[in-house]
Amino acid sequence: MAFVAFGSQAPAKEQGPSKTGRVALFLLLPGLFYLALFFITPLVSLIITSLKAPSSTGAIGRYDLGLEFGNYVYALTQYAPQIFRSFSFAVLATVIALAISYPIAYFIAVKSRNRPLLRGILLTLVVAPFFISFLLRTFAWKQIFSNDSLVVNVLKDIGIFGADSYIIGTNFAVVFGLVYNFIPFMTLPIYANLDRLDLSLVEAGSDLYASPSKTFRKITLPLSLPGVISGTLLTFIPISGDYVVASRDFLGGPDTAMIGNVVEANFLRIQDYPTASAISVMLMATIVVLVSAYVRRSGTDDLL
Amino acid sequence: MTRFSLGKYLLPTYVFLTFLFLMVPIGYTFVYSFNDSIKSNIIWRGFTLDNWLNVCDQADVCGAFGNSLLVAVTATTVSTVLGTMIAIALVRYRFKFRSATNLLLFLPLATPEVVMGAGLAAQFLDFGWTKGLTTVIIAHVMFTLSFVVVTVKARVATLDPALEEAGRDLYASPMQVFWKITFPLLLPGILSAAMLAFALSFDDFIITQFNSGSVDTFPKFVYTAAARGIPPEANVVGSFVFIVAIAIVIAVQVRSAMKKRKLLSK
């Protein structure tokens, strides 16, 4: 037994020959250089663009280098409702997705631990939505909830809905769509964490006469917290920048626009690059603050 | 005792209902790929195989699908090579700036797509580059790279360095050690990383919209079409991709289950 334990531990032991030098550089540099060129400098471009001033020639979509901090003030005052809405939607959708996903992750990781077939099927089903286009899925919900659809008509018939009630275009529809699309992102990290949960700890809890709910609160939940945190980040970050679900062509309406919709409209439609960039920079700054709070807790080696 | 039976049935029922909910739009898309629609694909007008047999009657759908494949294959190849190299270096070598490297690799995972998309687009504007297939591929390599690193890194960490040492002891050159020992052992990890990168690239919309100019990819086609109604041919493409992907996942799972059984019976 001791030998088996030792063997399974071996790979986790200190691995690297301390050879730094050329090989490591050869392996690292191409990829890191790529990221520097196409991830870091674009962020710098974004900051520079966010400070540009309208071109002195007056041409639309042309801007001169500048230090127009007023762009930020303009973006904040002009788009305060959308910014506020984005973060409220993101918080709400993340919390709901967590509430829906945790029991699923728990069931797959803990309750079906000894049934590999069931577990394989359930895991496949969790990721199944990834295999059909995000946009098609969202559009399917639009049609399911459209004004003369079966769902809406039934709601009207039972009297839950008034004659001119509707779902598409409401805040409810947008949050619903966000929750739906991001359930897998929440479920997978929690599953991955609970999968490593040592069940003997739970048993110990019940041996010591703790009730099932107390064992869950005192043992399972605290141990699964890292999974909950990464699930929350993986859900919150993409939602805060999404603009497909809230788009009027999908589940949104005139009053559901989020930050992403503002950036899209300003950048790609009216070519107001500085405003679009200023909003993006502020979004990025908020996310960086959030993530660095997380990094401070767990260090950089746990990130990847 | 009621508590016991409640716990026993409540959770499975809940899980079953949630999975049903997860499958609804997938089923809807699939069913409506067979709709005999005239203009818009909203009302059910009867069953037909026409959309499946003549997908390319909607030339735009087919062209966009082709572009998506081209982008995904190219971007996956590049990012798998670059990402695998980084993953090996991260596990096997000690070097300065390690935490800076980790941070640089992590940041793209933590950046909203709209920020990456707008940033790259701003840079292409500054450089004066015309947006097109090349800029889309550049963008896709960028945002898939970190996912490749994470996936391959997990596999490298399970490798026993003693195997490579044995190779070196037997006078294999570093290249031989890599191609005869390291690479074959890493292959499952590299393949799953490539599959992930492919899936991410194929389904990407936001970064693509900012950097594609007039080039259509499949998701971009769907987005544009949504304003006037998505043609059933798009449902065909979506359903087809879904079936292929599920088939691959099942095949991989069956294969690994069979391997396990073989190991156990030995």
Stretch B68-87: mean pLDDT: 97
Please check whether residues B97 and B175 belong to one and the same domain: yes
User: pLDDT (tens digit, 9 = 90+) per residue, B92-145?
Assistant: 888 888 888 988 998 999 999 999 999 999 999 999 999 999 999 999 999 999
Asked if residue B91 belongs to a domain, the reply is yes
Please check whether residues B237 and B124 belong to one and the same domain: no
Asked if residue B115 belongs to a domain, the reply is yes
What pLDDT score does B33 carry?
Answer: 92
What pLDDT score does A299 carry?
Answer: 58
Any idea which fold A88-257 has? MetI-like fold (1.10.3720)
- What is the sign, positive or negative, of the torsion defined by CA atoms of B176, B182, B185, B191? negative
DSSP label of B64: H
Residue B254 structure tokens: 């069956």
Residues 6+ apart with CB under 8 A from B101: A28, A32, B90, B95
Kind plus residue range of the DSSP H or E element containing B14:
helix B2-31
Please, where in chain A does CATH 1.10.3720.10 lie?
88-257
Please check whether residues B159 and B240 belong to one and the same domain: no
Please check whether residues B187 and B260 belong to one and the same domain: no
What pLDDT score does A3 carry?
Answer: 27
pLDDT over 50 at A179, yes or no = yes
Please check whether residues B124 and B236 belong to one and the same domain: no
Asked if residue B34 belongs to a domain, the reply is no
Please check whether residues B87 and B124 belong to one and the same domain: yes
**Nearest CB to A135: which of B94, B162, B222?**
B222
Please check whether residues B188 and B245 belong to one and the same domain: no
Residues in chain A: 304
**Contact status, residue B146 vs residue A34, Cβ threshold 8 Å:** no
Residue B242, domain extent: 231-266
Tally the domains of chain B.
Answer: 2
Q: Which CATH number does the domain housing residue B171 bear?
A: 1.10.3720.10
- How many angstroms separate the CA atoms of B118 and A46, rounded? 7
A51-65, A93-107, B115-129 — which is least confidently predicted?
A: A51-65
Q: Does B29 touch chain A (CB under 8 A)?
A: yes
What pLDDT score does A9 carry?
Answer: 31
Which residues of A fall within a CB distance of 8 Å from B95?
20, 24-25, 28
What pLDDT score does A162 carry?
Answer: 79
Partner-chain contact B28 A46, CB within 8 Å: no
Partner-chain contact B210 A244, CB within 8 Å: no
**Nearest CB to B93: which of A19, A111, A264?**
A19
Asked if residue B245 belongs to a domain, the reply is yes
**Contact status, residue B58 vs residue B218, Cβ threshold 8 Å:** no
- The CA distance from A300 to the nearest CA of chain B, in Å, is 6
Stretch A17-37: mean pLDDT: 83
Asked if residue B258 belongs to a domain, the reply is yes
In the chain, the amino acid numbered A103 is P
pTM of the model: 0.89
